[in-house]
Amino acid sequence: MTKLIKFGGSSLANGEQYQKVINIIKSDENRQIIVLSAPGKRFSDDIKVTDLLIDYATKVINKNDYQDILKNIIQRYQDIADTYDISDKEFAPIVNIFKQLPDKDYLNNDYLMAAFKAHGERMNAKLMAIILNHLNISAKFVDPKELGIVVSDENPNAADVLDETYENLGHFGYGYEKLVIPGFFGYTKNDDIATFARGGSDITGSIIANGLNIPMYENFTDVSSIYSANPKIINHPVSIKKMTYREMRELAYAGFSVFNDEAIIPAIKGNVTINVKNTNLPDEPGTLIVPEGSFQPEHPITGVSSSNRFSALYLHKYLLNKEVGITLKLLTIFQKYNISYEHMPSGIDDLTIIFDKDNLDKPTIKKLCNDIQETIKPDKLSWIDDYAIIMVVGEGMRDSANTISDIIEPITNDNIPIHMINQGASQISIMIGTREANANQAVKSIYKEFFNKEK
Ligand SMILES: Nc1ncnc2c1ncn2[C@@H]1O[C@H](COP(=O)(O)OP(=O)(O)O)[C@@H](O)[C@H]1O
Ligand SMILES: N[C@@H](CC(=O)OP(=O)(O)O)C(=O)O
């Protein structure tokens, strides 16, 4: 049974990590389809190649000197190539492609940025194919163009996959050699490179597993499993052995960065089992992400996550509930600025609109607030810049009447102000709004209540 394996940046950060990846590839002949990220951090203060490329692109856009950053980027790949005694002749195309990036034509600076970023994965996959062949493992670099990964063109740095991709993949034929594919990007209908949002190599893995009908997607990272809480917040959290797609999606949405939340959707549609595994300890079983109803949950909640990437607009107006068309007016304003909102909990005279901070800048926030003030004329309007969302998620939650009180009580006992509670929209999660400064403590309090560990 053919498997698709994806390695994240931490698994490909240097020659030593590359060797672990190669050992994993060699250890199971079914591991034929290989999707790679760009080299990530070698140590905690290091800079990911994707971020170096963003710096390179920014310098090109601003017409600043980019020679140092370019040297730095090439050196990351050179260090890996040197571990395997790759000749200068074989390595030269990688150097040239990086050097020539500023000379290409781009539709605009957003497309330039996307193309520069994508070359982190593109050159990494090229280098891996060279190294595998050097080690007598027959391998071929395959560009997303060849596979027919077609993406939307509205936002070239946060593109969406188009349906025709799956048809194209259905026609893609391959033999016995390993295919080494760069993650994170595709091509628009106009043949321009566009990337997924950050962390999007996971999405490429899911799309290809779905399109090539591969039932097992092994996602290799730097932790031995998905834990019930972020290990940076809780020491030695409980490992999740099995979880459902929708649990993963909700937890990934709010902070479980180990697997991209958008990457779940192609896997669901293709009924692909995802196995998150550790490149450093590949024999450990890791976490399986599977369809609903296929197993009994171990705990009443599966995980608790938190994310600080939100902002909120609070507005108060008497008789808001009676005002016909108010939501339409708000949505029209959002559309004017090309903004989507994440959540909109409301009361009789109050409304909070929660946004993803990454999609907003200061001038847009100002214009948005002015327009809302003028159009809606609220009695009070305020902007909360440091909004955090806590997600408590578990298929087991539906069966227990006490879960909501068990979640809220420890937070209130710790005097953490709660700005919003949303239960019911999803039967398997409770969403809690709080301020950024209180988010980690809220996670600790809830985790302690359910998993009886440290606070
Ligand atoms: N609940 C969680 N379980 C495991 N890891 C988590 C969790 N929440 C956040 N993480 C973080 O996700 C990291 C791995 O994801 P990522 O940075 O995308 O890795 P990669 O370099 O493999 O793409 C871990 O090192 C860990 O710090
Ligand atoms: N390299 C890209 C895409 C990606 O998915 O990376 P990683 O697998 O290292 O999270 C990024 O940093 O966003």
Among residues 164, 193, 222, the one where a domain terminates is 222
Query: In this prediction, what percent of the chain has a pLDDT beyond 90?
Result: 91
**Where do we find the tokens 């192609």?**
266
Among residues 178, 201, 222, the one where a domain terminates is 222
Q: Which two tokens stand for residue 305?
A: 């996550």
CB 121 within 8 A of CB 129: no
Closest by alpha carbon to 381, among 368, 369, 389? 369
Evaluate if residue 423 carries a pLDDT over 90: no
Confidence of residue 335 (pLDDT cuts 50, 70, 90): very high
Question: Is 386 part of a structural domain of the chain?
Answer: yes
Which residue's CA is the closest to the ligand 2 atom numbered 8?
8
Residues 201 and 68 in one domain: yes
Q: What separation in Å is there between the alpha carbon of 401 and the centre of ligand 1?
A: 32
Residues 41 and 183 in one domain: yes
Provide the pLDDT for residue 306. 97
Residues 312 and 216 in one domain: no
Residues 194 and 316 in one domain: no
Mutate to test the pocket of ligand 1, among 20, 124, 196, 221 (most ligand atoms within 8 A of CB): 221
Provide the pLDDT for residue 80. 98
Provide the pLDDT for residue 454. 42
Residue 183 Cβ contacting ligand 1 at under 6 Å: no
Question: Is 263 part of a structural domain of the chain?
Answer: no
Residues 209 and 308 in one domain: no
Provide the pLDDT for residue 294. 83
Mean pLDDT of the chain: 95
Residues 313 and 216 in one domain: no
Residues 192 and 332 in one domain: no
Question: Is 64 part of a structural domain of the chain?
Answer: yes
Provide the pLDDT for residue 401. 76
Among residues 175, 196, 222, the one where a domain terminates is 222
ipTM for the predicted complex comes to 0.98
Read off the pLDDT of each residue in 77-94 and give the average, rounded to a whole number: 98
Evaluate if residue 428 carries a pLDDT over 60: yes
Question: Is 247 part of a structural domain of the chain?
Answer: no
Closest by alpha carbon to 145, among 108, 117, 118? 118
Residue 6 Cβ contacting ligand 2 at under 6 Å: no
Confidence of residue 108 (pLDDT cuts 50, 70, 90): very high
Q: Is 47 left (phi over 0), alpha (psi -120 to 50) or beta?
A: beta
Could you report the per-residue pLDDT of 133-162, keeping only the tens digit for each? 999 999 999 999 999 999 999 999 999 999
Domain that holds residue 107: 3-222
Confidence of residue 453 (pLDDT cuts 50, 70, 90): very low
CATH code for the domain in which residue 31 is found: 3.40.1160.10
Residues 183 and 331 in one domain: no
Question: Is 255 part of a structural domain of the chain?
Answer: no
Residues 6+ apart with CB under 8 A from 46: 13
Question: Is 54 part of a structural domain of the chain?
Answer: yes
Ligand 2 atom closest to Cα of residue 200: 5
Evaluate if residue 404 carries a pLDDT over 90: no
pTM score of the predicted model: 0.93
Provide the pLDDT for residue 253. 93
Q: Please count the structural domains in the chain.
A: 2
Confidence of residue 455 (pLDDT cuts 50, 70, 90): very low
Query: In this prediction, what percent of the chain has a pLDDT beyond 70?
Result: 99
Question: Is 127 part of a structural domain of the chain?
Answer: yes
Question: Is 281 part of a structural domain of the chain?
Answer: no
Residues 32 and 163 in one domain: yes
Which one of 98-102, 253-257, 318-322, 400-404 scores highest in mean pLDDT?
98-102
Residue 46 Cβ contacting ligand 1 at under 6 Å: no
Read off the pLDDT of each residue in 69-79 and give the average, rounded to a whole number: 98
Evaluate if residue 332 carries a pLDDT over 80: yes
Residue 232 Cβ contacting ligand 1 at under 6 Å: yes
- Give the residue with greater pLDDT, 355 vs 358: 355
Residues 321 and 217 in one domain: no
**How far is CA 423 from its chain centroid?**
24
Evaluate if residue 360 carries a pLDDT over 70: yes
Residues 69 and 203 in one domain: yes
Provide the pLDDT for residue 328. 94
* Helix (H), strand (E), coil (C) string for the chain: CCEEEEECHHHHCCHHHHHHHHHHHHHCCCEEEEEECCCCCCCCCCCCHHHHHHHHHHHHHCCCCCHHHHHHHHHHHHHHHHHCCCCHHHHHHHHHHHHHHHHCCCCCHHHHHHHHHHHHHHHHHHHHHHHHHHCCCCEEECCHHHHCCEECCCCCCCCCECCHHHHHHHCCCCCCCEEEEECCEEECCCCCEEECCCCCHHHHHHHHHHHCCCCEEEEEECCCCEECCCCCCCCCCCEECEEEHHHHHHHHHCCCCCCCHHHHHHHHHHCCEEEEEECCCCCCCCEEEECCCCCCCCCCCCEEEEEEEEEEEEEECCCHHHCCCHHHHHHHHHHHCCCCCCECCECCCEEEEEEEHHHCCHHHHHHHHHHHHHHHCCCEEEEEEEEEEEEEECHHHHHCCCHHHHHHHHHHHCCCCCCEEEECCCCCEEEEEEEHHHHHHHHHHHHHHHHCCCC
Least trusted range by pLDDT, from 158-167, 241-250, 446-455? 446-455
Residues 310 and 426 in one domain: yes
Least trusted range by pLDDT, from 187-201, 246-260, 397-411? 397-411
CATH code for the domain in which residue 311 is found: 3.30.2130.10
